[in-house]
Amino acid sequence: MFIDGKWEQAEDKATFDVFNPATGDVISKVADGSQKDIISAIHAADKAFPMWSSLTAYQRSGYLYRAHQLMMDRKEDLARTMTLEQGKPLAAARNEVQYGADFLLWFAEEAKRVYGQTIPSSRPDQRFMVIKQPLGVVGAVTPWNYPVSMITRKLAPALAAGCTVVLKPAEATPLCAIEMFKIFEDAKIPKGVVNLVTKLDPKPVGEEFVTHPMIRKLTFTGSTQVGKMLAGRAAQHMKRISLELGGHAPFIVYDDADPVHAAKGAVLVKFLNTGQACISPNRIFVPCDRVDAFATEFANRVNAMKAGNGMEQGVKIGPLVGPDAIAKVENQVADALGKGAHLITGGKRLTDGALEKGYFYAPTVLTHVTRDMLIFREETFGPVAPIIAYDPEDDVIAMANDTEYGLAAYVYTTNMSRAMTAFERLRFGIIGINDINPTSASAPFGGMKDSGMGREGAKEGINEYLETKLGGFSI
Ligand code: ADP
C-alpha cells in the first residue's frame, strides 16, 4: 500500500493472493489493509489537502504531465501486468494504458481552465463573484475490468481540481494499481496527496469512505447493487458521490443499415474485454427479415475469434474474471435456451488443453431472445450476444428503453432523421451512432437511471471534484 508517501505492508502484515484468470495461478501477494491502515490513509490525505489545494493549477498540472509521460514510458510493462492479472489480450491492454494515460494529459490541461464567473446584481452597490474550489479528500473505488484507466479517470480530475485521494482498487487487480502508484511516486506527487489501500474485503473501506468526516466525496465504479447501497449510506453523511454502475446496452440495427457492416461493429464492441464492460451490448435488435443475414455474418466473425491466454499472439477472447462470472453466464444461457432461444454458436465453457485451468467461456450467439428471458433484463458481463428480432413497424426505441439501466446505446442506420430521433429519444448517457467506440478522455462518460450519476472525463469530469462558492460584495 502507499500511504503518506511510503510503501507499507498491512499493519498486521496480512496479505491476500492475486490470481491469473487465464491459468488459475497465484501470481502475487499484496497487503490486506487493516482498519487502521484505512484511517491512516484518510488522515494522510487530509493533512496533504491544504498544501495541494493551494498550489497553482499550473503546478498541479506539471505533476500530471509528468505522470502521463511516465505512463507512456512504461506502457508495455503496465499492459503486461494488466494481461497477467486481468486476462485481456495484450493488444487490448496496450489500448487501455493509452486510454488511461489520456486522462492524465487531458486533466493536466483542464486544471488550468477551472473558471469562475461574475454575475451582475440588481443592486448598484453589490457585486457577485463565483469561484470553484476543490471539495477536499476523495475516496475512490475502482473495478477490475479496466484496472488502469478507471484509476486515472478518477484520480486525474481529482488531482487537477486540487483534491487529495485515497484509492481502493478491486481485490482482483491490485497489481495494476500498485504500478500506477509507482508512477505517481516517480512523478514526485507530494506525500499524502495520493494514497493506495489494498484490501480483500471492500466493505470496511466503503463504510469509511461514506462515513468518515474527513472524506468529502466518494467516486465509485462497480455494480449497481453496491453503488446504490453506498449512495444510501453517503446520503446520511451528506457526502458528494459520483457513481458509474452497470449497463444493459441496446444495439439497434435499422432496416436501412447494411447488416454486414452492423454485424462487424456489434462483434467488435460485444466481445471487447470478453463482454466484461459496462458499455457492452446486451440486447441486439435486428429487423426480423434481416436476422438471418446478420446472425450468419456475426457468427462467422465470432467463430474466427481465438480464445486463450492474452499473452499469446492472435488471442481475441481472454478469460472471465472468475468462477462466479462463469456461473452467471451459464445461468443466463441455460435460462434463455430453456425459454426457446436458439444457440447459433458457443454456449459452453472452454476446457481444451491449457484453457481448462482458466475461466474461459466460448463466445456465444443466441437468436430468438425474448423479454421473458433473464438475459433480456440482467447485465451479462460475459461473451454472450443475444439477438432480438423486431418487426420494423415496432417502436424499437421504446423496446431499447425498456430497462432500468441507462449507460450506453448503439444505433446503426443510414437515415439521418432516424439517427437524430434515436439520439434524442434513447434514455442512455452515451449513444454511438454507427460508432462502436463513443469514448474518449475529452468526452463525458456516464449513465442515467440505475447506471449511476455524474460524468467522468471531459470538462464535466473535473466539476465532480469542485464546490461552487458565491461571494456577494457590497461596495
Ligand atoms: P463487480 O461485480 O464488478 O465486481 P463490485 O461492485 O462488487 O462489482 O466491485 C466493484 C468495486 O467495488 C471493487 O473495487 C470492489 O472491491 C468494490 N466494492 C464491492 N463492495 C463494496 C462495498 N461494500 N464498499 C466499497 N466497495 C465495494
Taking the CA of residue 169 as reference, the ligand 1 atom at the shortest distance is 14
Give the residue carrying C-alpha cell 464546490. Answer: 467
- Could you tell me which of 464, 409, 461 has the C-alpha nearest to residue 438? 409
Q: Within a domain: residue 155? A: yes
Does residue 11 belong to any structural domain of this protein?
Answer: yes
CA distance 115 to 130: 9
Question: What's the gap in Å between 223 CA and the centre of ligand 1?
Answer: 7
Helix and strand numbers (H, E) in the chain are 15, 22
Pocket of ligand 1 (CB under 6 A): 141-143, 170-171, 202-203, 205-206, 222-223, 226, 230
Query: Is 362 inside a domain boundary?
Result: yes
The pLDDT score that the predictor gives to residue 231 is: 98
Number of domains composing the chain: 2
| 53 dihedral zone (left: phi>0; alpha: psi -120 to 50; beta) | alpha
Ligand 1 atom 9: residue of nearest CA: 222
- Angle separating helix axes 57-73 and 90-110, nearest 10 degrees: 170
Average model confidence (pLDDT) across the chain: 97
Query: So what's the pLDDT on residue 126?
Result: 98
Please tell me the predicted confidence (pLDDT) of residue 394: 92
Statement to judge: residues 354 and 460 lie in one domain: no
Closest CA to 139 of 171, 159, 167: 167
d(CA 266, CA 386): 11
Does residue 445 fall inside a structural domain? no
Percentage of residues in the chain having pLDDT higher than 70: 100
| Ligand 1 mutation pick, 16, 86, 141, max ligand atoms within 8 A of CB | 141
Domain CATH code at residue 398: 3.40.309.10
Q: Do 220 and 343 have their domain in common?
A: no
Rg of the chain (C-alpha set) = 23
Report the separation in Å between the CA atom of 39 and the middle of ligand 1, taken as the mean of its atom positions.
19
Q: Rounded mean pLDDT of 18-44?
A: 98
- pLDDT tens-digit readout, 432-460: 999 999 999 999 999 999 999 999 999 99
* Residue 133: per-residue pLDDT: 98
pTM for this entry: 0.97
Q: Which domain holds residue 417?
A: 249-440
Residues forming a β-bridge with 285: 252, 388
Q: Could you tell me if 463 and 363 lie in one domain?
A: no
Q: What local confidence, expressed as pLDDT, does residue 346 receive?
A: 97
Amino acid at 186: D
Do 302 and 235 sit in the same domain of this protein?
no
pLDDT grade, residue 193 (50/70/90)? very high
Residue 12 within any structural domain of the chain: yes
Would residue 139 be called left, alpha or beta, if left means φ above 0 and alpha means ψ between -120 and 50 degrees?
A: beta
- Residue 407 and residue 278: Cα distance in Å, rounded? 8
